[in-house]
Amino acid sequence: MAAPYTDTDDQPTAKQGGLLRAVGTGVITGAADDDPSAIGTYASAGAKFGLSFLWIAPVLLPMMYVVVYLSAKLGRVYGKGLFAIIRDRYPRWLLYPMMIGAIIGNVIEAAAKSAEQLRQELKQKADEEARRTVDNARKQIAAERDQAIRTVRTEVADLVVTATEKVIGETLDEHKHRQLIERSIEEVASGDGRR
């Protein structure tokens, strides 16, 4: 069975690494769960809910402290993980439901992280597609505007030639017609359509 319980809190500890070593391993262990998907979840939850759930931090802190403290004590005294201790000290009918519960919890957490990552990827793809659509629409609008300007210039030139023929009372030959069109287009393009 398991080794008898001994309280190791009162025993002197060797100063082989001091405070930096003790804090360093704790920081590494604590940071091990803060992977990119967890940080993304924290950021999206903070963006969605803001400070509305901040009240829960002081409520959960004592509970988290107790769980971490007890886990550390169990690991320190027995030198085993939680399920190995339960296997050694309690009946199997208690071990299996707890293991299944932990596995289900881990699967749900992994699925939630994967779903969040997939949601972010889909949102990014949708944003890129929207940008491409807007860029294409702007290019198409610019092309249609340029075509409309060319069409209007041609129609204005034809109107000027027709009006000039009526005013002058004679039909212009090809050379006069071409000069009149070019001059009219230049006046329209410069914005000075009147004399």
Whether 73 maps to a domain, the answer reads yes
Q: Which residues, other chains included, contact 31 with Cβ-Cβ below 8 Å and sequence gap of 6+? A: none
Considering only residues 43 and 98, tell me which one the structure prediction assigns the higher pLDDT: 98
Residue 142 is predicted with a pLDDT of 93
Using one digit for the tens of pLDDT, what is the confidence trace for 94-122? 989 989 998 998 899 889 888 888 988 99
Which DSSP string corresponds to 101-120?
HHHHHHHHHHHHHHHHHHHH
Whether 69 maps to a domain, the answer reads yes
Residue 138 is predicted with a pLDDT of 94
Separation CA 44–CA 32 (nearest Å): 20
Provide the number of structural domains found in the chain. 1
Whether 32 maps to a domain, the answer reads no
Using one digit for the tens of pLDDT, what is the confidence trace for 5-38? 555 555 545 556 666 666 666 666 666 666 776 7
Whether 162 maps to a domain, the answer reads no
Using one digit for the tens of pLDDT, what is the confidence trace for 162-184? 777 767 755 666 777 777 777 77
Residue 182 is predicted with a pLDDT of 78
Share of the chain above pLDDT 90, in %: 19
Q: Which residue is listed with tokens 């001091």?
A: 18
Whether 176 maps to a domain, the answer reads no
Q: Which residues, other chains included, contact 96 with Cβ-Cβ below 8 Å and sequence gap of 6+? A: none
Using one digit for the tens of pLDDT, what is the confidence trace for 52-74? 888 888 998 899 888 888 888 88
Whether 100 maps to a domain, the answer reads no
The H helix count followed by the E strand count for the chain is 6, 0
Which residue type does 142 have? A
What is the span of the domain harbouring residue 72?
61-90
Separation CA 30–CA 35 (nearest Å): 11
Using one digit for the tens of pLDDT, what is the confidence trace for 125-157? 999 999 999 999 999 999 999 999 888 888 887
pLDDT bracket for residue 195 (50, 70, 90): very low
Q: Which residues, other chains included, contact 95 with Cβ-Cβ below 8 Å and sequence gap of 6+? A: 83, 86, 87
Separation CA 98–CA 75 (nearest Å): 18
